[in-house]
Amino acid sequence: MKLNKEDIQEYNEGLLEFHQEKLAFTKKEVTNAEAIIQKLVDFQIAIPSWALGTGGTRFGRFSGGGEPATLEQKIEDVGLLHALNQASGAISLHIPWDIPKDAAAIKALADEHGLVFDAVNSNTFQDQADQELSYKFGSLQHTDPAVRQQAVDHNIEVIKHGIELGSKSLTVWLSDGSCFPGQINFKKAFENTLESLQKIYAELPEDWKMFVEYKAFEPNFYSMTVGDWGQSLLFANKLGPKAKTLVDLGHHLPNANIEQIVSLLMMEGKLAGFHFNDSKYADDDLTAGAIKPYQLFLIFNELVAGMDAAGMNHAKDLGWMIDASHNVKDPLEDLLQSVEAIMLAYAQALSVDKEALENAREDNDVVVAQNILQNAFRTDMRALVAEARLRAGGALNPIGFYRKMDVRDKLIRERGSKTVATGL
């Protein structure tokens, strides 16, 4: 199904008066409001194809119905999100969960929905039905060169799919590691992984990047071969300029200072981008901003400062993606909430008076420095985010409109109530 622009407009008209009052108030409070709105209009956050179905835990999965069963339906779902918020104009594919059999047709369909293809993701953390050798003991790190080569070949295949779709980056997340002390030789595992990554890197087109995603634990519980940003950065530095470190917010040990990691990766020109989600305990993949919105803001504060210092384009020069998938919400509503939370944090970061903050830091005025950040975080930016959506042609209240149009019921009627999206 597709949403109608005129219906969105009509819906917005009913909310316009109240919105304008709120906007006028925010503009009094936020001096650079207009500049922020423009940046918000430009900012796009990619949606992963595996977040469109209800996620599961190892204890169970509760399908919500109307889930997309094919890549075409997934594109349709992201198209719905983009029509609602005008900020989800890209989709990221995980291969082989989603194999574009007819790339030209898939590209044309995406184009119809105003979507482009973000990073392509390889998968060597599961065995596929038709796979010759097993990844039970790792993929790129494996002791057997034939397993390593199989995993390298898969990544090269993924790059080929990406080229056909117009993607510009490959994200490599490895579950490689070990579950027990003594199981692997750390140095050999690193060296094997590096050699394998080098073979993949050699196949990257000139204008592509390789995103090396780290994760502290899970599914391996004693060591992960790309376990933290230090290890990822080591790989990225050894690989070359196209390789960078990808930060997934759920992949750290508790209380890690992610904003500091971001700042230093940017200093080194080695930050690839983000997988946004939120967590209370570990890789919970909860809605962005649901648990630690202040942390999300502090991360954006570093991002904006670092990108501005390096003369980077906020919308284009880093990879922005949601990576969340959980059990109890309608995935489309959840993704709308995530995008909103990310936009709010971004808007707050854009409102920070950088010069005043830097002066306070130089003067060691801790109170003023803290206040500058907290004031920005406590400023209600919802009217600016809504205004950006309005100007771009989206809905003032995306979830309100989604419910008013009974989108989920319509999808259930179209696709059935017992659907299981491919993916996690």
Q: Which of 67, 98, 323, 334 binds ligand LRH (CB under 6 A)?
A: 323
Closest approach of Cβ 42 to ligand LRH, in Å?
25
User: Quick one: 201 or 211, whose CB is closer to Mn ion?
Assistant: 211
The C-alpha atoms of residue 166 and residue 156 are separated, in whole angstroms, by 15
Q: Give the SS3 label for residue 58.
A: coil
Cis peptide before 205 (omega within 30 of 0): no
User: Would you give the binding string for ligand LRH spanning residues 50-69, x where CB under 6 A is met?
Assistant: x-------------------
Residue 290 host element (H or E): none
Give dist(CA 108, CA 275) in Å, integer.
26
Annotate 206-242 with b (16+ C-beta within 10 A) or e (fewer): eebbbbbbbbbbeebeebbbbbbbebbbebbeebeeb
CB of 246 to Mn ion, least distance (A): 7
Least CB distance from residue 350 to ligand LRH, whole Å?
27
Q: C-beta of 170: minimal distance to Mn ion in Å?
A: 14
Instruction: Report how far residue 118's alpha carbon sits from residue 115's, in angstroms, rounded to the nearest whole number.
Output: 9
The tokens describing 46, both together, are 């990619």
In this structure, which amino acid lies at residue 231?
A: Q
- Interaction pattern, residues 259-278, with ligand LRH; x per rule: CB under 6 A: ----------------x---
- Residue 85: phi and psi, rounded to 5, are -115, -10
248 contacts Mn ion (rule: CB under 5 A): yes
Nearest distance in Å: CB 261, ligand LRH: 16
CB 274 within 8 A of CB 250: no
Binder among 77, 98, 118, 213 for ligand LRH (CB under 6 A):
213
Q: How far apart are CA 133 and CA 135, in angstroms?
A: 7
326 is an interface residue for Mn ion by CB under 5 A: no
Binding status of residue 275 toward Mn ion by CB under 5 A: yes
Write down the number of H helices and E strands in the chain.
Answer: 15, 12
From Mn ion, ligand LRH, none, interface partner of 77 (C-beta below 5 to 8 A by class) = none
Please, how many CA atoms are within 13 Å of residue 255, restricted to the half-sphere of its CB? 0
Binding residues among 296-315 for ligand LRH as defined by CB under 6 A: none
Q: Which does 82 bind (CB under 5 to 8 A by kind): ligand LRH, Mn ion, none?
A: none
Nearer to ligand LRH, 259 or 283 (CB): 283
- Here the tokens at position 48 are 């992963």
Supply the angle between the helices 33-42 and 331-350 in degrees, to the nearest 10.
Answer: 140
Which of ligand LRH, Mn ion, none is residue 121 near (CB under 5 to 8 Å by kind)? ligand LRH
**For the window 111-140, what string marks contact with ligand LRH as x by the rule CB under 6 A?**
----------x-------------------
CB of 55 to Mn ion, least distance (A): 11
Q: Is 248 in the site for ligand LRH (CB under 6 A)?
A: yes
CB of 407 to Mn ion, least distance (A): 27
Q: Which stretch binds Mn ion (CB under 5 A): 176-184, 260-268, 276-284, 307-315?
A: 276-284
Q: What share of the chain is helix, strand, coil (3-state, %, to 5)?
A: 50, 10, 40
Is 283 a binding residue for Mn ion by CB under 5 A? The answer is yes
159-178 footprint of ligand LRH as x/- string (CB under 6 A)? --------------x-----
Closer residue to Mn ion (CB): 285 or 387:
285
Look up residue 142 and give its two tokens.
């494996």
d(CA 12, CA 397): 8
CA-nearest of 43, 115, 36 to 318 is: 43
CB of 152 vs ligand LRH, minimal distance in Å: 17
Write down the residue that tokens 């230093």 correspond to.
264
CA distance 392 to 22: 19
Round to the nearest angstrom and report the end-to-end CA distance of the chain: 24
> Least distance from C-beta 277 to Mn ion, angstroms?
7
Which spans of this chain sit near Mn ion (rule: CB under 5 A)?
248, 275, 283, 323
Which spans of this chain sit near ligand LRH (rule: CB under 6 A)?
50, 121, 173, 213, 215, 248, 275, 283, 323, 424
